[in-house]
Structure 1
Amino acid sequence: MLRLLRAMALLGMLLIAHGAWAQTLRMAGDAWAPYADVALLNGGLSTDLVRTALTRAGYTVEYDQVPWARAIHGVGEGRYDVLINAWYSDERTLIGEFSEAYMINRLRFIKRKTSDIQYESLQQLHPYSIAVVRSYAYSPAFDSDASLKKVPVASFSTAARMLAAGRVDLTVEDEYAARFALGHEAEEVRDSVEFLSKSLSENSLHILVSLKNPDHARIVADFDKAIAAMKADGSYDRLFKLHGL
């Protein structure tokens, strides 16, 4: 009987220790197809990659799709543990710890087909209005250029429609995300715009783990290790193919 009680006590301690380690992480992100959207297969590519990596690292995850401003604010306040798809900015290091890059996004400007706007430097774009999504970080040079006429909007779809209607001169978005979104716009929007040939930048995509979570450093390390293992065993590439990218 004594041996049984000791065994039960040991099992209880192990379960408590495991429970403290294998915590449930509250993840958040905005609708950003094809990377994140609850209407897509497994929530989109980014959602699938992040969920798979954290699950392989031993965590349980819950995901909320919310507007971007709410997601970033929630990470800052600690309501969410993980922002699944963040571009790096110094400002965000005040609220969270970035993982290593798990993907690269190519940012491109979009104009109306009837426009003769050319882009070789940001200075060339100073005369033009550019629709940007609120709270997004694009590139350090673009974000810090106070001479650019940035028009904050709620989403890329809004930006694309404003561009097609002539209410702004340009917008900017990740190439795959823009192509996906434009494919779901009305024909008069989709057929009236085009990409400029030169990219603004290539941005690394990270998870951002809230500093309010006391285990943020370990979560980031576990995620990075899991992504590296997925690349090594081929499951990373298989997820890209699964999502058609």
Structure 2
Amino acid sequence: MFPLAVLSNSDRLVLIAGDNWCPVNCGENDKDKGFMIDVATEALAISGYEVRYIEMPWLRAIHQAREGKIHAIVGAFKDDAPDFYFPKIPILKLSPNTLFTLAENTWAFNNQHSLNKVRLGVVQGYDYGHLLNAYIKSHRTSPNSYITQISGDNVVKRSLLLLTSKRIDVYVDADPVVWFQAKRMGIINKIKSVGSVSPRESAYIAFSPKLTSSEKLSLALDLGVLRLQLDGRLAVIAKKYGLQEIHYR
């Protein structure tokens, strides 16, 4: 764990946290820390900042940033933390609610009502878009609820294990994240995508609403990302993580 006093040690050090959502942001101790972390590191370096990435459960990351104990969270949609400072330029565009099931499953998503026929696995605190957020909220306390909420560390891997062990029928997450983890686990042929509830949304590194430096850091990130786009460097980093042009344009 990092010392909270580190914020006062240097006004050029930026602490960014999130749960392992590779290839967006990966493990804290991984050689390759993920697309958004690499982009933020290079983009903020242009303005003289140094990035330190910290891996922690998603809800804890939001709480720590909201309290001003870290500077930012990574891989955030606007409904994850609407009170945060969001840059003008999104680093990624993803569907937060692509649905995955076992390859042999014949279930298909037609509308929200079709979800009533399956056991749905979701990650606690994730933003899945207005429609699916409303569905999860309305069914969370129902006595007939088939929603399993996962929290803590390694949520994507643990959710896919629930799926392959048939403890849930459908798992919802961003498609590059699921395919990346499925490849690592050797189960890429055991699962399939059955569509998304809503179109792609912009994903960001979002800055603490409590820290006075947040607006300045948000602007510095925008300027750096724009430079990386113009230099072609953004595409190079995306290719490293197997992301397509549709994800970062």
Give the Cα–Cα distance (whole angstroms) in 2 for the partners of residues 152 and 74 of structure 1. 21
Correspondences of 1:50-199 after superposition (within 5 Å): 50-89=40-79, 92-94=81-83, 96-100=84-88, 101-106=90-95, 107-145=97-135, 146-147=138-139, 149-154=146-151, 155-185=155-185, 187=187, 190-198=188-196
1:37 is aligned, of 13, 21, 26, to 26
Preserved contact between residue 22 and residue 58 of structure 1 (Cα < 8 Å):
no
Q: Larger % of helix: which?
A: 1
Give the Cα–Cα distance (whole angstroms) in 2 for the partners of residues 184 and 171 of structure 1. 17
1:46-76 CA distance string (max 9 Å, x none): 1101111111122222221122222111111
Preserved contact between residue 34 and residue 40 of structure 1 (Cα < 8 Å):
no
With normalisation by structure 1, the TM-score equals 0.82
Give the Cα–Cα distance (whole angstroms) in 1 for the partners of residues 186 and 232 of structure 2. 38
> Which residue is equivalent to 2:247?
none
SS class of match (1:98)? coil
With normalisation by structure 2, the TM-score equals 0.81
Give the Cα–Cα distance (whole angstroms) in 1 for the partners of residues 126 and 78 of structure 2. 10
1:145-164 CA distance string (max 9 Å, x none): 22474311131212111122
Give the Cα–Cα distance (whole angstroms) in 2 for the partners of residues 147 and 112 of structure 1. 23
Q: Larger % of strand: which?
A: 1
Residue 224 of structure 1 deviates from its aligned partner by 1.2
- How many residues are matched? 223
Provide the alpha-carbon RMSD of the alignment.
2.4
Residue 214 of structure 1 deviates from its aligned partner by 0.7
Larger Rg: 1
> Which residue is equivalent to 1:14?
none
Runs of at least 4 residues off by over 6 Å: none
Give the Cα–Cα distance (whole angstroms) in 2 for the partners of residues 165 and 239 of structure 1. 34
SS class of match (1:226)? helix
> Which residue is equivalent to 1:25?
14
Give the Cα–Cα distance (whole angstroms) in 2 for the partners of residues 102 and 86 of structure 1. 10
Give the Cα–Cα distance (whole angstroms) in 1 for the partners of residues 200 and 242 of structure 2. 20
Q: Gaps (5+ residues) in structure 1?
A: 1-20
Identity over aligned pairs, percent: 19
Which AA in structure 2 matches 1:215? S
1:164-197 CA distance string (max 9 Å, x none): 222112111211111111112255xx44321114
Preserved contact between residue 131 and residue 197 of structure 2 (Cα < 8 Å):
no
1:83-128 CA distance string (max 9 Å, x none): 1221120x6123x211231111134201122322111222221232
